Amino acid sequence: MLKKVDSSQLKVGMYIHDLSCDWMTHPFVRNRFVIASQEEINKILKAGIHDVVIDASKGLDVQDAPSLDEAQAATERELEEIAKAPARIIKTSLGEELKRAAQIRHQAAGVVRNVMADARLGKAIEIGAVQPVVQNITESILRNPGALLGLLRIKTKDDYTFLHSVSVCALLVAFANARGMPEDIIREAGLGGLLHDTGKALVPDAILNKPGPLTDEEFAIIKKHPMDGFNILKESPDVPPLALDITRHHHERRDGTGYPDKLAGDDISEMAQMAAIVDVYDAITADRVYHKGLPAAAALRKIYEWSKHHFNQQLVQEFMRCVGIYPVGTLVMLESGRLGVVIEPHETNLLAPKVNVFFNTKNNVYIKPETIDLSRGLGFGGGDKIVGHESPSKWQVDPMRFLTLAGS
């Protein structure tokens, strides 16, 4: 049986089924193993991993620990309460914004690529070339966040580094806007998001694109990138302090286990805490050579669990309301047995978005795409219910093909 246990309860002889943290945090070359020594337990604790999933059928048990199913059910009940809060207002339809968003995505990735190339060569970063891109991203997010954020979920191993920076920019803009921050702060946050990984330009490609887990020595090199990026960017007088703060502190954690400065609690600025949330969210939803990305809905649930120690819980809840419990582009299973892709969140009920249904799992066949508003009843364009999120690979479907309104 799989159980969720506090890391303080770990003992030699237990079988770790899941370290319950993002893949860039844990110091082990594998996720599943039998604990062979107290040193391994100490390593888990030092990495700031506060709870793990054990397999009691393969190692020692913790009798009073909840099963994984019980722990997940408790999380779902908490998320239902979060979902009752109002969501964002959409100004432009998804279909209208997608074409513009595709152009912005391409343009922004090219700008980040140039920034990285300049940083690698020791050249000054031309902020004047970056700011118009941040402005375009901001305007797209204000028109319809789902268009650009949905497209940015598609990454390949060749463009991951660049598109990750674009995603963090767009997510941070959406997050700051949803929280009602002033426009100048939103733009500075976006600039910080676009430039936050500049320091990775100094990380050797062999480490950055290694097709396997990093060694302790390689991980130590990766952990230098926030400070390296800060040092590169501070040479440009046009980079605002907020963007420098995001670059330096987006890997800090509220329990003090982050880097480079091991800040804790409110010693980490609010914007850096927001950047930490969106950075992890985008990283764990992306496919890498040795890491299969989580569906967006599953990633949000993980971050919510980790917020008990690593993130500001209130900010995590606000971020979830910003992107939706089921973000745009999420593949969902409906009570009817149909698969659909989320195309728009509901303004007041995040559990009842608009979806495009396109596949019948009972017959394993594609069906004519149909847009359903899950907040409405049967006969009024609704009459169905989400029972959970699904992995596209499980059904061998591409939900992004059905992202626009049916018939548009």
Rg (CA), the chain: 21
CATH number at residue 300: 1.10.3210.10
What share of the chain has pLDDT > 70, as a percent? 93
pLDDT tens-place string over residues 287-334: 877 678 888 989 999 999 999 899 999 999 999 989 988 999 999 999
Residues 152, 260, single domain; the answer is yes
**In-domain check, residue 78:** no
Q: Provide the β-strand partners of residue 339.
A: 333, 359
Residues 243, 358, single domain; the answer is no
Question: Which region holds residue 39: left if phi is over 0, alpha if psi is between -120 and 50, else beta?
Answer: alpha
Report residue 46 CA to chain centroid gap: 24
- Output the pLDDT for position 281: 96
- Say yes or no to pLDDT of 119 above 80: yes
- Output the pLDDT for position 88: 56
**In-domain check, residue 79:** no
**In-domain check, residue 84:** no
Residues 40, 20, single domain; the answer is yes
Residue 89's pLDDT band (cuts 50, 70, 90): low
Q: Are 20 and 10 in contact (CB under 8 A)?
A: no
Helical ranges in 213-327 per DSSP H: 216-222, 225-233, 241-249, 270-285, 296-306, 313-323
For range 110-122, the mean pLDDT: 95
**In-domain check, residue 75:** no
Residue 86's pLDDT band (cuts 50, 70, 90): low
Residues 154, 293, single domain; the answer is yes
- Output the pLDDT for position 154: 81
Residues 105, 37, single domain; the answer is no
- For the chain, give the longest Cα–Cα distance: 63
Residues 313, 353, single domain; the answer is no
**In-domain check, residue 361:** yes
Interacting residues of 323 by C-beta distance below 8 A, sequence separation 6+: 145, 149, 171, 174, 281, 296, 300
**In-domain check, residue 210:** yes
**In-domain check, residue 295:** yes
Nearest CA to 245 out of 295, 195, 280 is that of 195
Report residue 116 CA to chain centroid gap: 22
- Measured CA to CA, the distance from residue 29 to residue 229 in angstroms comes to 27
- Output the pLDDT for position 23: 59
Residues 309, 340, single domain; the answer is no
Domain that holds residue 14: 2-66
- Say yes or no to pLDDT of 158 above 90: no
- Say yes or no to pLDDT of 340 above 90: yes
Residues 172, 287, single domain; the answer is yes
Residues 131, 267, single domain; the answer is yes
In order of 126, 165, 240, 275, 317, the CA distances from 235 in angstroms are: 11, 20, 11, 22, 36
Residues 278, 383, single domain; the answer is no
**In-domain check, residue 188:** yes
Residue 380's pLDDT band (cuts 50, 70, 90): low
Q: Which of 323, 352, 378 is the last residue of a domain?
A: 323
CA atoms within 13 A on the CB side of 331: 23
* Beta-carbon count within 10 A of 399 CB: 24
- Say yes or no to pLDDT of 280 above 70: yes
- Say yes or no to pLDDT of 123 above 80: yes
- Output the pLDDT for position 29: 63
| Token pair of 366 as six digits | 């594609």
In order of 13, 29, 401, the CA distances from 25 in angstroms are: 23, 11, 33
- Say yes or no to pLDDT of 389 above 70: yes
Q: What is the mean pLDDT of the chain?
A: 89
pLDDT tens-place string over residues 200-212: 999 998 998 887 7
For range 253-281, the mean pLDDT: 97
Residue 408's pLDDT band (cuts 50, 70, 90): very low
Residue 145, preceding peptide bond in cis (omega within 30° of 0)? no
- Output the pLDDT for position 211: 79
Q: Which of 275, 294, 323 is the last residue of a domain?
A: 323
What share of the chain has pLDDT > 90, as a percent? 62
Q: Which of 323, 342, 370 is the last residue of a domain?
A: 323
For range 244-266, the mean pLDDT: 97
* Beta-carbon count within 10 A of 354 CB: 23
| Token pair of 333 as six digits | 């299973």
- Output the pLDDT for position 406: 47
pLDDT tens-place string over residues 39-83: 888 888 888 888 889 899 999 999 888 888 888 888 888 877 776
- Output the pLDDT for position 407: 43
Residues 309, 394, single domain; the answer is no
- Measured CA to CA, the distance from residue 273 to residue 256 in angstroms comes to 12
Measured in degrees and rounded to the nearest 5, phi and psi for residue 53 equal -105, 125
Residues 168, 23, single domain; the answer is no
Number of domains in the chain: 3
Instruction: Output DSSP code: residue 286.
Output: S
Residue 134's pLDDT band (cuts 50, 70, 90): very high
